[in-house]
């Protein structure tokens, strides 16, 4: 696979293999090579794809393919040759389409079930290296209107003000909201700040008539629901 693609038999090239065998039979390197499209001077697209995977995994050990989601954060000085802004955008677009496709369809989300809400929101958040605070906006019939990110913090904290949360809810005529934020550490145990922010948001929601139905803290493969734990107080 290190030879130039032009020297490979047509049947062994990634695109031809995908068409003949299906994407499930291709390696991570081959699928990434298809997204990249072309290699660089002196390197085939397969070699560029392999180098890129190794580079990202070295900077985010254990991340596997998800390490590619951090392409905008990796050290550009050491980025592999042949990877310009256009290819970075193509890779990130492909990965995020996959994340969104893996989320449950809106009409199938049982919003009364925190586990179902977690399975819907986790693909958007579980890979993040910084805290993000998302708001699921709901209609009077508890149908999802939209999901919006209202705050992005550092590696350890996300600052959220009721103004940002309810401004978007009022603008979209939401009847209620479900709050969600991630813990990049992977441990979803709510911090003291998480509890205080939730208390303030529940109080603010009562004042303006937009109920906070739950607050989910998303970790690595697990979550904590404030409603399930009896922590949704104000």
Please give the share of the chain, as a percent, with pLDDT higher than 70: 86
Q: pLDDT confidence of 2, banded at 50, 70, 90? A: very low
Q: Could you give the percent of the chain with pLDDT greater than 90?
A: 29
Q: Which of 54-58, 86-90, 118-122 has the lowest mean pLDDT?
A: 54-58
Domain definitions of the chain by residue range: 5-101, 104-225
Residues 6+ apart with CB under 8 A from 217: 180, 181, 182, 183, 188, 189, 190, 194, 223, 224, 226
Considering only CA atoms, which of 212, 193, 218, 201 is closest in space to residue 117?
Answer: 218
Q: Which two tokens stand for residue 187?
A: 């441990």
pLDDT of residue 89: 86
Q: Of 69 and 206, which is predicted with more confidence?
A: 206
> Which CATH entry fits the domain spanning 104-225: 3.40.140.10, 3.40.50.720, 3.30.590.10, 3.40.50.460?
3.40.140.10
Mean residue pLDDT across the chain: 83
Q: Name, in order, each residue with C-beta under 8 angstroms of 124's C-beta and a sequence gap of 6 or more.
A: 99, 100, 103, 134, 147
pLDDT band at 1 (very low <50, low <70, confident <90, very high): very low
73: DSSP letter: T
């Amino acid at each position: 696979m290190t030879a130039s693609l032009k020297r490979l038999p047509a049947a062994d090239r990634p695109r031809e293999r995908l068409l003949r065998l299906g994407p499930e039979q291709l390696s991570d390197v081959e699928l990434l090579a298809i997204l990249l499209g072309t290699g660089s001077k002196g390197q085939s697209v397969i070699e560029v794809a392999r180098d890129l995977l190794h580079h990202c995994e070295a900077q985010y050990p254990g991340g596997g393919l998800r390490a590619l989601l951090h392409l905008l954060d990796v050290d550009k000085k050491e980025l592999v040759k042949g990877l310009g802004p256009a290819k970075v955008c193509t890779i990130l677009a492909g990965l995020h389409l996959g994340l969104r496709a893996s989320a449950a369809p809106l009409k199938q989300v049982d919003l009364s079930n925190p586990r179902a809400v977690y399975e819907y929101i986790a693909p958007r958040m579980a890979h993040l290296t910084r805290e993000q605070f998302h708001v699921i906006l709901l209609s009077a019939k508890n149908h999802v209107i939209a999901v919006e990110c209202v705050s992005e913090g550092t590696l350890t904290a996300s600052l959220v003000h009721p103004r940002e949360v309810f401004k978007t809810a009022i603008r979209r005529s939401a009847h209620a909201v479900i709050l969600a934020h991630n813990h990049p550490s992977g441990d979803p145990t709510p911090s003291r700040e998480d509890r205080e922010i939730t208390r303030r948001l529940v109080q603010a929601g009562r004042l303006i008539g937009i109920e906070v139905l739950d607050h989910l803290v998303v970790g690595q493969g697990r979550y904590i629901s404030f409603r399930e734990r009896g922590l949704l107080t104000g």
